[in-house]
Amino acid sequence: MMTPVYLNPPPSPFSHVEQANDQEQRLKLFISSSYTNQAAASSCSSLISSFPTFFDSFEDQRAGSSSTTTTTTTLGHDQSLLYHHKADKHIRDCGTRTYDQASKSSSLVQPHVVDVIGNKDHRLMSAYADHEREINGRGGEEEGKSNNNIRPRAVKWMSSKMGLMQEMTNPDLAPAGTTGNHIPAAAEIAEHKFRVFQYQENSDETSFSRNNNKTTPAVRVCSDCNTNTTPLWRSGPRGPKSLCNACGIRQRKARKAMAEAAAAAANGFVVGATDTSSAKGKVANKEKKPRGSHSKNKSKLIVTDTPSVSPNNKINSNNNKICFKGLGFQRVFPQDVAEAAILLMELSSLQKSHYTLLTSSFSASMERARRLANRAFVKRLVSEAKQFRQNESSVLSSSTSPVLYAPSRYVSSLSPCSFTRSNPRSDSLPSRNASHNAGFQTRSISVDALKSSDTFPRRHNSATPEEQIKMAELCGFDGLDSLIDATVPKSIRLESMKFPKFDEGLTESQMLEHMKNLASKNQIFKSFIGMGYYNTHVPPVILRNIMENPAWYTQYTPYQAEISQGRLESLLNFQTLITDLTGLPMSNASLLDEGTAAAEAMAMCNNIQKGKKKTFVIANNCHPQTIDICKTRADGFDLKVVSADLKDVDYSSGDVCGVLVQYPGTEGEVLDYGEFIKNAHANGVKVVMATDLLALTVLKPPGEFGADIVVGSAQRFGVPMGYGGPHAAFLATSQEYKRMMPGRIIGVSVDSSGKPALRMAMQTREQHIRRDKATSNICTAQALLANMAAMYAVYHGPEGLKTISQRVHGLAGAFAVGLKKLGTVEVQSLPFFDTVKVKVADAHAISDAANKLGLNLRLVDSSTITVSFDETTTLEDVDKLFKAFALGKPVPFTAASLAPEVQPAIPSGLTRESTFLTHPIFNSYHTEHELLRYIHKLQSKDLSLCHSMIPLGSCTMKLNATTEMMPVTWPSFTDIHPFAPTEQAEGYQEMFRDLGDLLCTITGFDSFSLQPNAGAAGEYAGLMARGDRHRNVCIIPVSAHGTNPASAAMCGMKIVTIGTDAKGNINIEELKKAAEANKDNLSAFMVTYPSTHGVYEEGIDEICKIIHDNGGQVYMDGANMNAQVGLTSPGWIGADVCHLNLHKTFCIPHGGGGPGMGPIGVKKHLAPFLPSHPVDLAHKL
């Protein structure tokens, strides 16, 4: 059974809520009967949507079953209603004083039918008249007048109801001698009044419909008080209403009072009523009032800190005025709920026995009940939404009013108003006189109230100050500060932290403006540089629904397959894409970048050869950054890297474990590697081929040449350049070497019921299990970007990808034909796919001419230029290139005119013959809506931060705020080539400097490198930042994360493991013995702080001293940096080097397994050993 929200209000201080429990239970039973046969589709169904369900259910019952009501009972009830109608008419015409006499006369004969409802109504009617007389009598006594001069109150239904409400609110005001046996509950009396009113309304409508041709108009009756003797209320744009003037004015006052109460609730005040009709007030207001003023005997609502209390300790009241007395602060407005409940219960009884009598007005009655109940529900929502902000401590200390609401982090808490007024509209009216502002309370405006409200912590901190205090109290502390004091050792606490820039912080809007300013400093030139980075069109459906979708970028690594089936399927699509295009059967689900993938392949070759061969050859047609990364990584394996021309490679020494070639080459050449690979295999050498996925749609795949390992980047499959990353790399190989592959692999398995399911496969290769024996230290890779690349392939399909490739190749061919026509340059004669190599007399002059046209070219040397084309290149861009190469001379042709002369530049032996991407996934979703639905289908199978917190890993311990994510996809940041001239990326350079300075302040280090693109890469770079090559011992506690020993092993270090004590802390005595035993070769000690079980170890300063005294360096893993920021820092503790996981401590999204970033900070004595880059951005590329 589903219960409407408004049926379960929070506890109320009003006593009548408890008194109405019976009616509330009856209403619940009535509502539940219409929900029993439904599945309760939503736990938050509104009252409006509930009633149509009731109507349908009622019609079904009426149509499907016979009536159980007897004729006698129906007749009895009809007569009873007729009697009550006459009684009510008599009361309206003659007053309540003649009621007893009239009830005994023949004019009001009671029906002689045994009917429970009729008898009950009679008792209610009599009790109601007695109750009215007692109310009027009490009112007369309070006014100091005779009861004979009081007009009968029976015609003032609303006034009597408000009197009942006040009695229920203040039991002390009830007449003496009354008990529950003499006066029925308010709900019963109102129930009776509705019955009489409803019958009369039905009779009036029937009478009017029968006599609509007569000149005598129907009598209009007020829908609230039933009077027909006063003019009707005609206010409002929709014409005459069904209220009399008195009720209309009263309701208008009520609405104003509610608005004032809601405004006061937003600031945490209590609304009280003050009567301005005292003698003193009248004397003060004797002067002539402006026309239209209605201040006489007017009750004003003002905002006070405490309710108004009379000398008798009773809250002031006036039965003839609307005075909320704090009613506006209830979470549910009881008068509406009670009235709606009465209506619903009455209609419930009518539907069982008297439906035929009220058919004509039943719908109108239900509509009224629905409006009343729904109004109560809406008021509750409005009341709960009005949150107040905690005032200054001085104001709180002086306030004596109870706290009725607590601030909620789910509802915006705006700054409190600087002043409040009784009239909600008075702030927009000119000031009239002092008396007009007599009821106002004002206070001075604080400086904080004038500051911008879109601050980052207020919107994004998950715990409010009140919740923080409660959590601290649960731990036995009186606040967060005392908890921190007891947790973080005093010896490592920071006094304060001050940033050289942005110390006061920026609001979210200011931060966006700052990023826009940085973006404007970047210059977007059309890039023809190539070298593994190309412009690409990111399909908007992928950009919006994956890259910018928190359901995809906040996911955690899919260790829990049961909540990761969507992204696992997408990553499996990525692996299928890679294996189809490369021609090899196995692929992983992304690596960090192409250079890192090549270095991982080199390590595989070394492992395949079991470390017996110590030379690795790299062809000089590989990208320069790839060559440099491999050389750096080779040091850890004690490998010798030789860079040579392909024709000069010599295997005669027998010491070569592998060779790396580029296909197509970095300068564009497409070579046939068939014979080269056969020769390598004949000498026991493994071949690694770095390739381009887009080129493989038209070129012969590496697997068909016989390559053992294929690596590359999927960047040009719909992933922006982003000034260098992040991009998803890949590694494919044969089944024979699958156990030696790095990175995560997605496999098809079965679930507990035997159905096909996906999961991460062969995890025993990975560092979190094998530690120092792992195939690689990489864990977080580039899952988010791999998903984008996979969706790009799904969106375009095999034919779409081939079309893009052929167009790119055609544009390169047109450019080559045009250069030959110019006759001033020499075009390479080797086959090419998208990159044309040109020999020129003055490469710098042509490059400068291209820059003036907004184009960037790659300068290989002073006489060599390469020009790389991509899917964003247009015919107009090619014409600009012709103009740059002509150096001012006229160009007698256009690119379009050269199209008929273009011939394929790829020989038939190198053209792809095999099919690819034949799976239905890549042939089904080629329109935006089809792909959109597929993306959301996968998304619905996953758990992300959109749904809840994720219970695994410190990687989720940060916020991916929308403000932080927005600039990531701005073209001024995404469309810059990483090797563009530095002056074109001044915005990026300023951002790097600011970030480096901030990180140095936060960590206490002297220098930072932002180059590592993951924590694993940062660990490696940090461990290698040491000049003493003979020091190769690394001490690691058994509690360390698996990447620590894996990274140390990749650096070629000898790992010494130490244990922990009974509490899981590092065993200092054992550490001291290990350090002293290896003091001549001790390189580093790796520690995570706080520890992996979340404890700030008291002896951390002693641990650092032990390592330093024995010649080692302290390497701190920054995985738990969240627990240090602002409290302490690695540099302050004593660490020499530390990497930060920016996808853990700061905003970078985890993306289901990447991207990540792992910048490293070092003390000044290690700064010279930080990583650099081989590419000279001052024009030599």
pLDDT digits (tens, 9 = 90+) for 570-605: 999 999 999 999 999 999 999 999 999 999 999 999
The 3-state DSSP class for residue 904 equals: coil
3-state secondary structure of 742: coil
Lowest mean per-residue pLDDT among 35-39, 839-843, 959-963: 35-39
Kindly report the average pLDDT of the chain as a whole number: 75
> For the ranges 13-17, 161-165, 916-920, which has the lowest average pLDDT?
13-17
Higher pLDDT, 957 or 20: 957
Virtual CA dihedral for 117, 119, 121, 122, nearest 10 degrees?
170
Q: What's the confidence (pLDDT) of residue 673? A: 96
Q: What is the pLDDT of residue 342?
A: 58
Nearest residue to 839 via CA among 811, 867, 818, 812: 867
Looking at residue 1056, its pLDDT comes to: 93
At 714 the pLDDT is 98
Count of other CB atoms within 10 angstroms of residue 199: 21
Residue 1169: CB atoms within 10 Å: 16
Residue 728: pLDDT band with limits 50, 70, 90: very high
Is 50 exceeded by the pLDDT of residue 57?
Answer: no
For residue 64, pLDDT over 90 is answered with no
CB 440 within 8 A of CB 302: yes
Average pLDDT over residues 637-661: 91
Provide the pLDDT for residue 223.
72
Q: What is the secondary structure of 1008-1025 as a DSSP string?
A: EE----SHHHHHHHHHH-
Q: Give the model's pLDDT for residue 548.
A: 95
pLDDT above 90: residue 858:
yes
> What band does 2 get if pLDDT is binned at 50, 70 and 90?
very low
> What's the pLDDT at 863?
94
| Per-residue pLDDT tens digits for 257-269 | 777 766 665 554 4
Note the pLDDT of residue 157: 42
Question: Whose CA is closest to 34, among 21, 51, 9?
Answer: 51
Residue 782, C-beta contacts closer than 8 angstroms, at least 6 positions apart: 590, 591, 592, 726, 727, 728, 729, 1151, 1153, 1154, 1155
Reply yes or no on whether the pLDDT at 164 is more than 50.
no
Question: Is the pLDDT assigned to residue 1035 strictly greater than 90?
Answer: yes
Predicted pLDDT at 86: 59
Per-residue pLDDT band at 511 (split at 50, 70, 90)? very high
- pLDDT tens for 406-434 read 333 333 333 333 333 334 433 434 444 44
Residue range 279-284: mean pLDDT, rounded: 41
pLDDT of residue 1010: 92
Residue 1115 DSSP SS3: strand
Predicted pLDDT at 368: 67
Q: Do 879 and 666 contact (CB within 8 A), yes or no?
A: no
> The tokens of 676 are what?
């080269």
pLDDT at 213: 43
Residue 1038's pLDDT is what? 86
Residue 129: pLDDT band (50, 70, 90) is very low
Confidence of residue 1031 (pLDDT cuts 50, 70, 90): confident
Q: Are 13 and 169 in contact (CB under 8 A)?
A: no
Q: Are strands 729-733 and 586-587 parallel, antiparallel or unpaired?
A: antiparallel
More confident residue, 862 or 387: 862
Per-residue pLDDT band for 88 (boundaries 50, 70, 90) equals low
**Mean pLDDT value across residues 736-748:** 92
Q: For position 668, what pLDDT does the model report?
A: 96
DSSP calls for 105-158: SGGGPPP-S--HHHHHHHHHHHHHHHHHHHHHHHHHHHHT--GGGSPPGGG-HH
User: What pLDDT score was predicted for residue 664?
Assistant: 97
Tell me: pLDDT of 89 over 90: no
Lowest-confidence pick of 380-394, 635-649, 1041-1055: 380-394
pLDDT of residue 300: 41
- Tell me: pLDDT of 28 over 60: no
Task: Read off the pLDDT of each residue in 533-544 and give the average, rounded to a whole number.
Answer: 98
Q: Domains of the chain, with CATH numbers?
A: 5-59+334-383 (no CATH), 71-229 (no CATH), 236-278+296-329+387-424 (no CATH), 800-905 (3.90.1150.10), 981-1169 (3.40.640.10)
Q: What's the average model confidence in pLDDT over 379-388?
A: 55
SS (HEC) of 976-994: CCCCCCHHHEHHHHHHHHH
Q: Is the pLDDT of residue 205 over 80?
A: no
The pLDDT confidence band at residue 559, using thresholds 50, 70 and 90, is confident
1132 pLDDT exceeds 90?
A: yes
Which has more pLDDT, 348 or 564? 564
Residues 6+ apart with CB under 8 A from 1181: 529, 531, 624, 858, 859, 860, 979, 1175
Q: Is the pLDDT of residue 741 over 70?
A: yes
Does residue 800 register a pLDDT over 90?
yes
Mean pLDDT on 320-334? 40
The amino acid at residue 363 is S
Half-sphere exposure of 625 (CA within 13 A, CB side): 21
pTM of the model: 0.66
388 — pLDDT class (breaks 50, 70, 90)? very low
Q: Which residue in 930, 812, 814 sits closest to 870, CA to CA? A: 812
Q: What is the pLDDT of residue 763?
A: 80
pLDDT at 367: 67
Both structure tokens of 875: 């015919």
State the pLDDT at residue 128.
44
pLDDT-derived band at 76, boundaries 50, 70, 90: very low
Burial 904-926 (b: 16+ CB within 10 A, else e): ebbeeebebeeebbeeebbeebe
Evaluate if residue 209 carries a pLDDT over 50: no
pLDDT surpasses 50 at 637: yes
Residue type, 415: S
Give the pLDDT confidence score for residue 988 in this predicted structure. 97
